[in-house]
Amino acid sequence: MLKFDEQKQLDSVNGALKLRGEINEVVDEICKKGYKNICWLGIGGTYASCMQAVVHMNEKTEIDIFVENASEYLTTGNRRVGEGTVVVISSVTGSTEEMVEGVKKVKQAGAQVIGFVDLESSTLAKSVDYNISYPLNEQLKFFMVADRFMYNKGEFPEYDDFYKEMDKYLAEALVEVEKAADDFGREFAEKHKDDAIHYFVGAGNQWGATYSYAMCYWEEQHWIRTKSIHSAEFFHGMLEIVDRDTAVTVFVGEDLQRSLSERVAKFLPRICGNYTIIDTKDYELKGIRPEFRGNISHLVMHAVTQRIDAHLEAINHHPMEIRRYYRRLKY
Amino acid sequence: MLKFDEQKQLDSVNGALKLRGEINEVVDEICKKGYKNICWLGIGGTYASCMQAVVHMNEKTEIDIFVENASEYLTTGNRRVGEGTVVVISSVTGSTEEMVEGVKKVKQAGAQVIGFVDLESSTLAKSVDYNISYPLNEQLKFFMVADRFMYNKGEFPEYDDFYKEMDKYLAEALVEVEKAADDFGREFAEKHKDDAIHYFVGAGNQWGATYSYAMCYWEEQHWIRTKSIHSAEFFHGMLEIVDRDTAVTVFVGEDLQRSLSERVAKFLPRICGNYTIIDTKDYELKGIRPEFRGNISHLVMHAVTQRIDAHLEAINHHPMEIRRYYRRLKY
């Protein structure tokens, strides 16, 4: 299999899950002292992960939570960020300008920051109140934070059972998804390698996946045009430009918004002859009980899209690490 | 001028502004009794207007406010909606299924609803706690609600001055914008009538305008493909697919997020030969002082895009009222 190192991926996910002790110490300390609200602060891909954390929490929580785009925060501001606010961020290099400035500003407002900044020597890593450094697995880290806050508030009673299964089965299950999805990934990449534009539709914790897969993978890394649209919004405008040949892919997950994407998936065949449905339900996830699958649908989808990426990169002879403009020009 | 009835438009805006007495009675009564938070509930175009109300309020307020998409609310739910929540909605026909069900659900949760449902005989109009019926001007109605809540909280001390100017000058100013933008609208429509895809970029209270102009006008009414992207996010992916011939339009407004769109506008000429900047600052708005212009930038932009629409419809011989699928098929 292309770009696939099974042991490395198992280690990566299992290593991320092992951060839970450290994460819980931080969250438990904050909960003990008390807090007012939680602000998920991001930009680009991390903004998408923030949206996923919030939609996940909305299923269960009464905690005052919100997503904030770092650039919007730096301009409009948000007066709900202040004393008692817990801000959660993630950054690989710690050098994304909007995040560096955003964290400065939330700190000035009196908030405390939990950071997942990989480069420990960066100013950003040093400027947060609690930093946990570990590569990749951003969503998993965010969800572990979210779940602990909800557990501490009595909103996630199945927490222990859930993480027992994650620790035991998640890494293996995701690796098996990749293997099962490899043929599909190759066929999909072959079929869509020349798309003038590709539409991605999704909802729930798949919405962040849809948004970032379209923007951070196809646009940024494959240089293929895309539009992402929330399944709920598909019927309020975008449907009118879909015809026989329009390339549309629906990401169907298993959280509470599944029905919104199923509605799009059911409608598409009537008007479109070039659609694809990727349904996380089609993948086994050995050892994980049905009611827990919704919490990790976005990770399953990511495992599937990784297979598309690996093949698309090879077929299009377009290395995913090159950028035309990003960090190559001043702007 | 095509599709332009000056007196009708003056009357429309002035009539909307006259709702303020009625709106203030409702808001003042709610504020007197006390409330916990404000939920702006919408879908499609009304969801876009909700986003505009929230970004406008974020400039000034500490009130706990949030946008909720009706379909997402019906599936994921939102436990922050309950006793003490004020929900604000808008609907022309009162028949949008997601809104009808959404309002039922927020009422069951204990919230009270302020509705702007045009068709007073609809079930939706009858199901809200306070209904105000008046056609068009959705954003203006929403902002009058938002501003009164902020005024009552002491967060909008310039309220009286601002609305004195609106009552006196807004309608006339917007009509003059349309006149001034008509030539531009025709040229823009001529140039872009055959676009395979058109990108719209915007921020602040222009973000809702960007999102809904792309989706509810070009896609739904002109059947032309678009992608809308927030100016803050433009640099985190989408920029990579812009080349010489890519059609990109930036909506630049005058609220606190202006700098985010200026950044895109300044960068585009380096990589693109087919861009357009629409800057609300280029329009006079007689009688309205500079510091108030940001609050109404989205209305100015709407006046400009109305001119594009009028010409595009004529040039493409595509009546804006026809739909391929929307409310013509079951889904």
Q: In chain B, what percentage of residues exceed pLDDT 90? A: 99
Residue A31 in domain: yes
Q: Are residues B99 and B165 in the same domain?
A: no
Over residues B300-318, mean pLDDT: 98
CB A243 within 8 A of CB A273: no
Domain count, chain A: 2
Listed residues A101, A118, A152: the one ending a domain:
A152
* Residue B111 near residue B159 (C-beta atoms within 8 A): no
pLDDT tens digits, one per residue of A63-72 = 999 999 999 9
Same domain (yes/no): A66, A142: yes
Using the 3D structure, point to which of A122, A152, A182 is the last residue of a domain: A152
Query: Model confidence at B201, in pLDDT bands (50, 70, 90)?
Result: very high
- Shared domain check, B279 and B194: yes
Report the candidate in B74, B105, B85 with the shortest Cα–Cα distance to residue B40: B85
pLDDT digits (tens, 9 = 90+) for B81-117: 999 999 999 999 999 999 999 999 999 999 999 999 9
The pLDDT of residue B324: 95
Cβ separation A256–B78 shorter than 8 A: no
Residues B145 and B163 in one domain: no
| Lookup: tokens for B182 | 């008509």
Of B128, B118, B133, nearest to B22 by C-alpha is: B133
User: Is residue B323 in a domain?
Assistant: no
Contact assignment for B271 to A325 by CB distance below 8 Å: yes
How many inter-chain contacts (A to B, CB under 8 Å) are there? 193
What is the overall mean pLDDT for chain B?
Answer: 97
- Chosen for mutation from B61, B66, B201, B241 (greatest number of chain A CBs closer than 10 Å) is B241
Residue-number span of the structural domain to which B41 is assigned:
6-152
Domain edge (last residue) among A106, A123, A152: A152
**Residue B215, token pair as written in the block:** 């989706």
Residues B117 and B179 in one domain: no
pLDDT in tens, A151-161: 999 999 999 99
Once rounded to an integer, what is the mean pLDDT over residues A37-41?
A: 98
Q: Does A36 touch chain B (CB under 8 A)?
A: no
Residue linked to tokens 């509470």: A256
A328 touches chain B (CB under 8 A): no
Give the residue ranges of DSSP H helices in A218-296.
231-234, 258-271
Mean pLDDT over A131-136 rounds to 98
A163 token code pair:
């993480």
Average pLDDT over residues B258-278: 98
Residue-wise pLDDT for B64-73, tens only, equals: 999 999 999 9
A187 and A137 assigned to the same domain: no
Query: If pLDDT is split at 50, 70 and 90, which confidence band does B21 have?
Result: very high
Cβ of A108: how many Cβ atoms within 10 Å?
Answer: 10
Chain B segment 116-175 residues within 8 A of A by beta carbon are: none
Q: Which of B62, B77, B240 sits opposite A324 (nearest CB)?
A: B240
Q: Taking CB atoms and an 8 Å limit, are B232 and A72 in contact across chains?
A: yes
Say how many CA atoms lie within 13 Å of A49 toward its Cβ.
25
User: Do A74 and A189 fall within a single domain?
Assistant: no
- A11 and A139 belong to one structural domain: yes
Is the CB of A69 less than 8 angstroms away from the CB of B241? Answer: no
Which residue among B225, B257, B326 places its CB closest to the CB of A239?
A: B326
Q: What is the pLDDT of residue A54?
A: 97
pLDDT at A245: 98
- pLDDT interval class at B260 (50, 70, 90): very high
Q: Confidence class of residue A145 from pLDDT cuts 50, 70 and 90? A: very high
Query: Do B147 and B166 fall within a single domain?
Result: no
Residues B129 and B255 in one domain: no
The answer as to whether B327 is a domain residue is: no
| Local confidence band at B7 (pLDDT 50, 70, 90 cut-offs) | very high
Q: What is the pLDDT of residues A209-228, one digit of tens each?
A: 999 999 999 999 999 999 99
Residue A24 within any structural domain of the chain? yes
On whether any CB of chain A is under 8 Å from the CB of B322, the answer is no
| pLDDT recorded at residue B169 | 98
Q: What is the mean pLDDT of residues A197-204?
A: 98
Same domain, A57 and A78: yes
Evaluate whether residue B328 is within a structural domain.
Answer: no
Number of helices (H), then strands (E), in chain B: 13, 9
Whether residue A321 lies inside any domain: the answer is: no
For residues B309 and B165, membership in a common domain is answered with yes
d(CA A46, CA A50): 6
- Chain B within 8 Å of A319 (Cβ-Cβ)? no
How far CA B294 is from CA of A4, A79, A241, B55, B173, in Å, comes to 51, 19, 33, 12, 14
C-alpha separations of B293 from A16, A30, B159, B209, B258 in Å? 49, 42, 14, 16, 12
Residue A101 and residue B239: Cα distance in Å, rounded? 22
Residue B69 belongs to domain with CATH number: 3.40.50.10490
* Sheet bearing B226-230, strands edge to edge: B226-230, B198-202, B247-252, B275-279
Domain-located, residue A330: no
The Cα-based distances of B100 to A311, B87, B120, B144, B278 in angstroms read: 45, 13, 14, 23, 36
pLDDT band at A165, cuts 50/70/90?
Answer: very high
CB contact under 8 A, B256 and A70: no
Does some domain include residue B322? no
